[in-house]
Chains A and B, each alone.
Chain A
Amino acid sequence: MDGTGTPGNQSADSGPFDAAEQALLDGLRAGHEPAFAEFVASYGGPMLATARRILGNEEDARDCVQDALISAAGKIQTFEGRSKLATWLHRIVVNTALSQLRVRARRPEQSIEPLMPNLDMMGCRIELPEDDYLSLDQVIDQSRVDATVRDAIEQLPESYRIVLLLRDIEEFNVRETAELLETSEGAVKTRLHRARSALKTLLEPILVRRDET
Chain B
Amino acid sequence: MIEKIKRLAKGAMLKSMPGHITCDEFEEFIAEYFEGELSAVQRRTFDMHLKVCEDCRAYLKAYRNTIALGRSAFTSGDAPVPEDMPADLVAAILAARKA
Binding between chains A and B: yes
Task: Check B55–A126 contact: CB distance below 8 A.
Answer: yes
Main secondary structure of the interface of A (DSSP, over half): helix
Given contacts A128-B58, A193-B31, contact A44 B93 (CB under 8 A): yes
The minimal Cβ–Cβ distance linking B93 to chain A, given in whole angstroms, is 5
Q: Report the interface size for chain B: residues with CB under 8 A from the other chain.
A: 56
Q: Hey, which chain A residues are within 8 Å of B96, CB to CB? A: 66, 70
Q: Does A125 contact B (CB under 8 A)?
A: yes
Task: Check B59–A117 contact: CB distance below 8 A.
Answer: yes
Q: Hey, which chain A residues are within 8 Å of B68, CB to CB? A: 136
Task: Check A66–B55 contact: CB distance below 8 A.
Answer: no
4 new A-B contacts, CB < 8 A, other than A119-B24, A196-B70, are A36-B94, A196-B67, A207-B65, A207-B66
The 3 nearest A-B residue pairs measured at CB:
A122-B11, A44-B85, A123-B24
**Can you offer 19 A-B residue contacts whose CB atoms are under 8 A?**
A37-B94, A70-B93, A119-B24, A120-B8, A122-B8, A123-B11, A123-B14, A123-B23, A125-B24, A136-B64, A136-B65, A136-B68, A139-B65, A145-B69, A150-B74, A168-B71, A169-B71, A192-B31, A193-B30
